[in-house]
Each structure stands twice: as C-alpha cells, then as structure tokens.
Amino acid sequence: MNVIEQMRERLAVLAPESIDIGDDSHLHAGHAGARDGGHFRLTIVSPRFAGCRTMERHRLVYDALGPLMKQGIHALSITAQTPEEIRSTS
C-alpha cells in the first residue's frame, strides 16, 4: 500500500466527507530531508472539525496519521474544513 492509500485509510477515523491528497514530492527532488518521506497537500472536509480552531484541526489530522508523520510524510500542507464552511463558500 502506498503512502497516499495509507493516509486515506488512517484519516477515515475523522469521518471525512471528502479527502483530496496531492503528492508534491517531485517539486522537492534533491531536498535532503525528503529522503525519508514525501511532500503532500491535504484538503479534508469533516464534521469533526466543527468548533475547532486551525491548530486543533491540524492536531486531529496529525494524530490520525500517527507514525506516517515520522516515516512516509516529510511535509504536509493541510486545509481542514467543516461541511458548513464548504457550503457557505459555494
């Protein structure tokens, strides 16, 4: 199972309505820190983020990803929103 599949599996605990994961590793080829993991972009929509500030939302994501944050993921850009936030911008 590749890293993106593992990320999707682990993030399922947040009951997401949608997950979009992009792999930007190719943009960081040769970066010394990137040898142990890739560079990813995550957009996740979940009702679990309701009432949470940005840092709390990121902590929920980091906790869900667990050991992937130490091996498999070198850098992660996170956009975490509630379904209501998505609907209000549509």
Do 78 and 61 touch, CB atoms closer than 8 A?
yes
pLDDT number for residue 26:
65
Where along the chain do its domains lie? 3-89
Contacts (Cβ under 8 Å, ≥6 apart) of 50: 82, 84
Domain 3-89 class? alpha beta
Residue with structure tokens 């399922």? 12
pLDDT in tens, the chain (90 residues): 799 999 999 999 999 999 999 988 766 566 555 555 688 999 999 999 999 999 999 999 999 999 999 888 988 999 999 999 988 876
pLDDT number for residue 25:
79
Spatial distance between the Cα atoms of 37 and 74, rounded to a whole number of angstroms: 5
Instruction: List, edge to edge, every strand of the sheet that includes 72-81.
Output: 18-23, 37-45, 72-81
